[in-house]
Structure formats: C-alpha cells, structure tokens
Structure 1
Amino acid sequence: MEKVAIVLLNLGGPDSPQAVRPFLENLFTDPAILRVPGFIRPWLGKFIAWRREKPAQENYAIIGGRSPLLELTVAQGQALEGALAGEEGREYRCFVAMRYWHPFSDEAARQVKEWGATRVLLLPLYPQYSTTTTGSSQTAWDEAAAKIGLSVPSQTLCCWHSDDDFAAATAAMVRESLRQAQASLAPGQKLRVLFSAHGLPETIVKQGDPYQWQVEQTVAAVVKALDEPGLDHVVCYQSRVTPQKWIGPSTEAEIERAAAGKVALLVCPIAFVSEHSETLVELDVEYREIADHKGVPGYFRVPAQNSDAAFIASLAGLARRTLAAERPLCSFRGGRQCPKTHTDCPHAKVRAA
C-alpha cells in the first residue's frame, strides 16, 4: 500500500488575540515578503508588525478575535481525502503546513514522517504561484523536511491558476451570485464583476514574479467558463500594506469608479480559496462601507470556495494528475506555463540550477 501524504500549503492566521503580534512578526520578517538586507530585516519587520498590530487586532475582533483559516483548511483536507478515497493500492492523508502560524511546516513534516508516508505531494492552496506565497512555503517545507530527515519521493504542484475544473467550479459560484445580485437590483441596473486578488509590490512583479500574469489567466478562464456575453468585469488588487507602488488597479479605486458611473458591484475573491480576514473584513466590511459611502447602487460578494464539492473535486483531479506525471515540479498542465519574461517561475529556477 502506497501511503501518499498531501501537504496543503497555506498562509495561516492567528488563533487568538495574543497570536496576532507574533503572526505579524513571522510575516514581515520573511525574506520573501520584506526584501531588504538581512541585517535590517529582523528590526524593520518587528517595527512594521508593531505598527500594524492595532489595526490587525481590530480586524480580527470583527470575526471573533481569530482567523478561521486553519479550521477551513483542515475541512478542505478532510473533504479531499474523501474525494480521493477508495483508490486501490494507495492511501491518502492530508496534512496542513501553514507559513506564518501553527501548524508550521516542521509540525506537518513530523506528522508526515510519523504516519510513514512513502510519497509526498505539496499542494498549495494558492491557485497562482508567487515567490511570496507558494515559493516561501516551499522553502519552509524543504528546510523542515531536511531537518528531520524526511526523505521520500516528493512532488510539488506549483500552480493551477487556469485549470479547467477549478475555473468551472469558480464560475458556477460566480454565476449563482450573479443571479442573486441581479434579482435584487432594479431592472436595467448595470452590474460589474470585480475579480479581486491580493496585491503585490510592483517591484516584485518587475523582478520576474509570475503572480499578476497568473491572476489574469485565472480571470480569463473563469470568464470563459461563465459564458456570459458582454460581462462587465475588471481584475483588481487589494490589501496594500506598504507605501511603495503596488500593482493595480486597486479594488478601492474600482469601487470609486463604479460609484461615479452608478454601477453595482459583485466582488469575487479570485486568489483566495478560503474565507479569512481579507474576505470577511476587508471585502465584507471595509470595502462595503466605502461602497455605501460613495453611493454604489449595490454591493455583493461571491463566497470563497471553502469545501465546495466541485472545487474539492478539482483539487482531487489536480492531485491525481500530478502524481501520475511523476515530475518533482509540476504545473496543472505538467510543464512550465509562464512566459519566459517571468524569471521567478519555479520551472525557470529548476533549469537554472
């Protein structure tokens, strides 16, 4: 019996008000996030965390003082185990490795080793690859596995931004929300879909990170699967946290533009597959308040996938195809998908090595 450990890589979130500060310190001292000389990073990262603690505490207080991300990710893993169950000669178990709060990669690696896994599949719950998310999580996992001597055949699914099944599952959720929004609006009221993704500093993208290109590919695939002729839609970016220039347009700017044009909005979180503070607070509370204040004639949101059956089925398909490909590094279509200009694509790094 082959024992396949599927390690779900995710961001993580504080599990109590007391965890907010150390969570932020872990985030802002990550070299993939704060790209400054190493001798400055610990001090600057802790300073940024100190500056952001109060607003973060206020945000988490809105949703009960903690992030729901761990419970939702565990539920996704249980659902994925169920979708993969029954395959002859192979047993699957899902493990969770969070990047900035418990369970960290070292905890997950120890559990994988104790279970006696004969094969490991790293499956990031970030559809789009970025050095700041999947790349950072991969590094943390590699270090944790090496530290405890976990040495079994391992594969990484680097991205699945425009996988057909993922796009179809997401489109179905958008379609349902679109119908509900249209039903509550006055006849003839214009409605625009904002596909909102977490932003990145522009410098990271210019250095070769493929994230923005992959986000755009996701939106194109979902819109194609929606098959709504003339759909008014925009790709935009949220969650700016530093004063430097970030990729755009910003979600807030698009809300203001919709208000000026008297266009209602349906916001779809396109880079998040679980509810957490960026959806439950930033989209549902902060941006809704802006929309109401500016006079947007209607503001609606598509829910995150969580354990939606079609979404979980798409993850199961991705897992099976990746394992069948037997490539150490695999995209949802096997080989590299990013244009060569994106030099931080992990496939480019493998060839360079």
Structure 2
Amino acid sequence: MTDLATRPEHAPADHPKVARGKTGILLANLGTPDHYSYWPMRRYLNEFLSDRRVIDYAPWKWQPLLQLIILTKRPFTSGEAYKSIWNHDKGESPLMTITKDQTAKFADLMAARHGDQVMVDFCMRYGNPSTESKVREMVKAGCERILFFPLYPQYAGATSATANDQFFRALMKETWQPASRTIEPYYDDPRYIDALANSVEEAYGQLEKRPDILVVSYHGMPLRYLMQGDPYHCQCAKVTRLLKERLGWKDTDLVTTFQSKFGPEDWLQPYTVEEVARLASEDGKKNIAVIAPAFSADCIETLEEINEEIKESFEEAGGEHFTYIPCLNDRDDHIQVLADIATENLQGWL
C-alpha cells in the first residue's frame, strides 16, 4: 500500500502528516487459535466464551465456572480437534488459510473494479488478526471510509452482531474516526442461493449414487435467543426453502438441522448429530449428504464436527454413505457474490 501521508495544504511545517482518500473493506470471520496447544487454545476459548453475545449468563455466575472448570479441560479436547484438521504445512487452521484465500481473490476483484481507491483486508472477531489492529491499519493507511463485512449470510447476535460490536469498539479508539457502514445479512440474495445450489449440483454430479436426503445443517443457538427476537432461525429456514426451490427439489429431499449444542438448556432443533442417526435407523436413509450454509468457510465445526463426529453418529446408526459438501470457501461464484454485495454497499463512496 502506497504511503498517502502528506502535510495538509497551508499547514505549518511542524503539522503531522495525514493519510487520506482511501475506502477500506474489512472482511470479518469468527476467528481461530494461533495454535492447538494448551495456552493458545485457552486464550482463544477464553475470549470466545467470555463474549456476552455468545454466553449471556451473568458474569458472577459464568466466569468462575469458565475459568476454574471449563478452561482447565476444554483446551485439551478442543486442541485435539484442531490438531486433527490443522494445516501443518502453513502452521495455521484451515479457517485462516481459507479466509486468506478468500481475501486475496476478493481484493483482486475489487482492484479490477475500483483500482487503488479501495484497500481490502480481513480480521477475526476472536484471536488474530484482531479487528482493532486492522481498523488501526486502515485508518493509518488513509481510509476515510470503512465498509465492514461480517462473513455470515444469516444474522445472529452471536455472529454478525458481536463482529459489529467489536468493529464499533475499535472505532471508539480512533482520534479521527472514519465513516462506516456494515453489511446487512445476505441469506436470501439470489446470487448467494445460486452459489449454494451450484455447490450441491457439482457435488451430486460427482457421486455414483444420488443421496437419499440432503441434511442442511446450521450452527445452533439457544432456543431462548429465538424467543427473545433473534431472526437467525427464520433466516436459516428461508435459506433451506430457497435452496430447495432453486434446485427444483421436493420437501422430502432435504431437511434443516442445527449443530454445536453447548450447555444444558434447549437449543434450536432438530440436532444434526441426532437427526442423522434417526434418518439412518428409523427412516432407512443410508446415503446422505450434509451442507453447512451458515459458514462461509470450512472450520472446526465443519471439518471436525460434521465430517468426523456427525459422520460417526450416522454410521453407528447404520448409515453407509456420508458425503460432506464443503462450504463455499473461495469458489469463484462465492467471491463474485461477496464482491457484488460490497460494490452495492459502496454506492456514493466511490
């Protein structure tokens, strides 16, 4: 990035140089530990599980349990899960690798459209690179405007909202605060549905036998959040319906489920891990495929939970053929969708 810092016109000789004139686009993903060993895992989990958007129990009740019990054990089990999917060649998690690839392709598209007017980067809500550090870099590089783009198609308080919270907290620390915009959920954008459908059609086209059913698995959340007004469940249901219509399938060709339940209270149901077992044992669905539209990039919840734990549950119940359809990741049609949405949200800025 070229240094745009100059002394303002008519300013005295001792006036600090100021960089101006850029528009930043900051892609945001959930986050990843720096390593799967105990202390990096503990730092990451502590930041994640201390977020009141994720776990909203009163701190006086939750923090002793988290610090004294959960964080003494969970870093070991989570670390083993991360180790099983770790990109050892690059020394990072798959989510980090994929997010870098997405950002590079996205930046190339935006540069082709807008030249050097736009600065593109990514941040993580938890872990590194932090949202605060990337906002600081953009401001220092001369970004007078920042479009913040959480990579979550559906809105949820524990994903989109907490990412936005962190972005706004970062802006609070800037002396000269840039103008800012955030992206609204794009779960029902026809271009996003097309990309999802394309990934399903391509995956099915490579199989010798068509799966009996497609399990559309979304990350879960406490049922209580839905009752409090979080729109996530409704948006997930609409994605499944739109995907079904775009594929031209029947209602019985796919089913919506929710994964990653945590804690004792009721979460959105049916639970993926239980539903795949029921499909195999009760409905005789011995050949299934699973897709995870709530994730823009493959991560621990897809590569380890779906492709290992949930697959094992299905096979133990008598299932025979399990196909996981990867997230959209850095597919060209996915990056095109993200670039189109960003361009539309830059109206009036470029």
Asked if these proteins are the same fold (TM beyond 0.5), I'd say: yes
CA offsets per residue over residues 76-124 of structure 1, 9 Å max, x none?
Answer: 1111111122335762222222111111111111111121112111111
Q: Is it true that 1:75 corresponds to 2:101 in the alignment?
A: yes
Q: Is it true that 1:63 corresponds to 2:82 in the alignment?
A: no
Output the CA distance in 2 between the equivalents of 1:207 and 1:222: 27
Q: Is it true that 1:266 corresponds to 2:289 in the alignment?
A: yes
Q: Is it true that 1:216 corresponds to 2:216 in the alignment?
A: no
Output the CA distance in 2 between the equivalents of 1:69 and 1:132: 18
Question: Which residue does the alignment assign to 1:14?
Answer: 33
Q: Would the aligned equivalents of 1:195 and 1:219 in 2 still touch at CA under 8 Å?
A: yes
CA offsets per residue over residues 251-270 of structure 1, 9 Å max, x none?
Answer: 01211121122212100011
CA offsets per residue over residues 204-263 of structure 1, 9 Å max, x none?
Answer: 111111111111122222222222356610010011121111111010121112112221
Output the CA distance in 2 between the equivalents of 1:299 and 1:325: 48
Output the CA distance in 2 between the equivalents of 1:160 and 1:150: 30
AA aligned opposite 2:303? L
Output the CA distance in 2 between the equivalents of 1:89 and 1:22: 39
Q: Would the aligned equivalents of 1:10 and 1:124 in 2 still touch at CA under 8 Å?
A: yes
- TM-superposed CA distance for 1:67, in Å, is 2.3
Q: Would the aligned equivalents of 2:85 and 2:303 in 1 still touch at CA under 8 Å?
A: yes
Q: Choose the corresponding residue for 2:305, options 272, 282, 307.
A: 282
Output the CA distance in 2 between the equivalents of 1:162 and 1:318: 12
Q: Is it true that 1:178 corresponds to 2:208 in the alignment?
A: no
Question: Which residue does the alignment assign to 1:341?
Answer: none
Q: Is it true that 1:307 corresponds to 2:330 in the alignment?
A: yes
Output the CA distance in 2 between the equivalents of 1:20 and 1:285: 20
Output the CA distance in 2 between the equivalents of 1:190 and 1:78: 34
AA aligned opposite 1:198? H
Q: Would the aligned equivalents of 1:6 and 1:123 in 2 still touch at CA under 8 Å?
A: yes
CA offsets per residue over residues 260-281 of structure 1, 9 Å max, x none?
Answer: 2221210001101111111111
Question: Which residue does the alignment assign to 1:295?
Answer: 318
AA aligned opposite 2:297? S
Question: Which residue does the alignment assign to 1:149?
Answer: 175
Q: Would the aligned equivalents of 1:31 and 1:41 in 2 still touch at CA under 8 Å?
A: no
Output the CA distance in 2 between the equivalents of 1:58 and 1:213: 34
Give TM-score scaled by structure 2 length: 0.86
CA offsets per residue over residues 151-194 of structure 1, 9 Å max, x none?
Answer: 1221101311111111101110011112233x2x3xxx761000
Q: Choose the corresponding residue for 1:205, options 226, 241, 249.
A: 226
- TM-superposed CA distance for 1:15, in Å, is 2.0
Q: Is it true that 1:225 corresponds to 2:252 in the alignment?
A: no
- Percent identity of paired positions between Structure 1 and Structure 2: 27
Question: Which residue does the alignment assign to 1:335?
Answer: none
Q: Choose the corresponding residue for 1:52, options 67, 70, 74.
A: 74
Question: Which residue does the alignment assign to 1:322?
Answer: 345
Q: Is it true that 1:3 corresponds to 2:29 in the alignment?
A: no
AA aligned opposite 1:324? Q
- TM-superposed CA distance for 1:41, in Å, is 3.9
CA offsets per residue over residues 264-299 of structure 1, 9 Å max, x none?
Answer: 210001101111111111111111122222111311
Question: Displaced runs of 4+ in structure 1, greater than 4 A?
Answer: none
Question: Which residue does the alignment assign to 1:166?
Answer: 192
AA aligned opposite 1:93? M
- TM-superposed CA distance for 1:148, in Å, is 2.6
C-alpha RMSD of matched pairs (Å): 2.0
- Please list every run of 5 or more consecutive structure 1 residues that lacks an aligned counterpart in the other structure: 327-353
- TM-superposed CA distance for 1:50, in Å, is 2.8
Alpha-carbon spacing, 1:43–1:221, altered in 2? closer, same or farther (3 Å): same
Q: Would the aligned equivalents of 2:27 and 2:149 in 1 still touch at CA under 8 Å?
A: yes
Output the CA distance in 2 between the equivalents of 1:190 and 1:79: 32
Alignment length, in residue pairs? 321
Q: Secondary structure at the match of 2:258?
A: strand
Output the CA distance in 2 between the equivalents of 1:229 and 1:40: 47
- Please list every run of 5 or more consecutive structure 2 residues that lacks an aligned counterpart in the other structure: 1-19
Output the CA distance in 2 between the equivalents of 1:39 and 1:292: 42
Alpha-carbon spacing, 1:150–1:252, altered in 2? closer, same or farther (3 Å): farther
Larger radius of gyration: 2
